[in-house]
A and B are shown apart, each in its own frame.
Chain A
C-alpha cells in the first residue's frame, strides 16, 4: 500500500536543495534512523542533480509505503524527458561519467537504496525509482 505520491519540480540547483529537505522531512516522519535518513537523502541528492544536469530538469515523486504493520518505506521516483541514457550498464559503472562529475552518483544511489529501478530510452527520457525500507 502506498500513499498518493507528492510531486516536486526538479529543475534547478535550488530544487535539488528543496528535494533533499523534503526527503529528509518525510524520512523523519516515517521514523528512519539518522543513518537511514542520511542514506536516502544522499541518494535523492545524486538523482535530483542528475535530473537537472543530464535530464534537463524533471520531477520527483515521493510515496510512503506500508506493507504490514511494521514494514514502512519511502519510494522516490525521478523522471525527466531528457536525452535518455544510451548504455545503462556503462552509466552504472563506478568512475564513468559523460559529464564532469566523479562518476559515482548513479551507482552510489543504487547502493544506498534497497530497491533500484531504472528505465531509460534515448530521445524519450529517464525514470529512476528507489525504495528504502525502514
Chain B
C-alpha cells in the first residue's frame, strides 16, 4: 500500500481510557444493560478486553484479515462472546452492536486529534470503520454458525431418537414409529430394523404406527417397502396402531395392506407374535392359593 501509515493505532493507544469510559456510558444509555441479561461488571470487563485486544491488533497491522495472525486473539475473544451471548438469548444484531457501538466514542477521539488534518481524519475514520465493521460482522457469522451446529445436532438426535428398535421377547422386535415418516427418516428406520433383525436373530417385527398422525399413500408405501425388505430376510412383520380413523382413511385411499398382518393395538400385535412363536401368556400359579 502506498498510503501513509495509519494514525489510528497511535490515537487509540493514547486515548484508550477515555474511549473505554465513553463507550461504556454509551452502551449503558443505549440499553445494552437494560434487558438485565448481563451484569454491568461483566460488560465492563468484556469491553475492556475487547478494546485492549483491538489496540494490540491494530498496532501490528490495520488491514483486517480473517486469517491474519494478529487478529487471532480478538477473533477468539469474539467467538466466545458471540456464543455466550447466543445462549443468553441475545439477537445477532445485539451482539454485533456491541462492536459497532465502539465507533461513536472512537470517532470522537479521532476527530479531536486530527481536527487540523482533514485528509488524515478521513483516512483514519475509514480505517476504523473497516476494521470494526469486519469484527462486527464476524460476530454475526459466528452466531449463525453456532445456531446451525445446534440445528444440525438436534436433527441428528431426532432421527436417532425417534427410531428405536426394542426387543419385546426372544425373537420378537418392536419398532414404535413416532411423527412424520419423511423419506430420510424412513431410510434410517428401515436400516435400523433390518440390522437389529440380524443382530438379534429375530423372526417377527411389530411396526407400531400409533404415533404417526397421518397415514397417507407415501407413508403406506414406505411401510410396505420396509415390510417387503424384512420378508426378504425371512422375518414376518405385523403393523399395529391402526386406529379407526386411520383404517377408514386407508380404505378410502385404496391402499392394499392385505399382505401384512395388522392389529389395532401393540398389545394385540404382541399377542399374535407370541402365538406365531408358539408361546402364550398364562397366570402364574400362586403358592398357597
Which chain A residues have a beta carbon within 8 Å of chain B's beta carbons? 13, 17, 20, 24, 34-35, 37-39, 41-42, 45-46, 49, 94, 101-102, 104-105, 107-108, 111-112
Contacts and interface: CB of A to CB of B under 8 A. Distances in A.
Q: Which 5 A-B pairs have the closest CB atoms?
A: A108-B253, A38-B245, A45-B216, A35-B245, A105-B217
Interface of B: 180, 182-183, 213-218, 220-221, 244-246, 248-249, 252-255
B218 to A, nearest CB: 6
Given A45-B216, A46-B216, A107 B248 contact: no
Given A107-B254, A112-B253, A35 B248 contact: yes
Given A13-B182, A34-B245, A39-B248, A94 B216 contact: no
Contacts of B216: 42, 45-46, 49, 105, 108
B174 to A, nearest CB: 24
A38 B220 contact: no
Contacts of B218: 45, 49, 101, 105
A108 B249 CA distance: 9
Contacts of A108: 216-217, 252-255
Contacts of B245: 34-35, 37-39
Do most interface residues of chain B lie in helix, strand or loop, or is the interface mixed?
helix
A62 B216 CA distance: 20
A39 B217 contact: no
Given A41-B214, A42-B215, 18 more contacts: A13-B183, A20-B213, A20-B214, A24-B213, A35-B244, A38-B214, A38-B245, A41-B213, A42-B216, A46-B217, A46-B253, A49-B216, A101-B218, A104-B217, A104-B253, A105-B216, A111-B253, A112-B249
Nearest to A109: B253
Nearest to B253: A108
A73 B183 CA distance: 32
A24 B248 CA distance: 17
A42 B248 CA distance: 11
Contact of B221 (A20, A101, A111): A101
A112 B182 CA distance: 22
Contacts of A37: 245
A17 B254 contact: no
B249 A101 contact: no
B16 to A, nearest CB: 50
Nearest to B180: A17
A92 B180 CA distance: 26
Contact of B252 (A41, A101, A112): A112
18 contacts: A13-B182, A35-B248, A38-B246, A38-B249, A39-B249, A39-B252, A41-B213, A49-B218, A102-B217, A102-B220, A104-B253, A104-B254, A105-B216, A105-B217, A108-B252, A111-B253, A112-B249, A112-B253
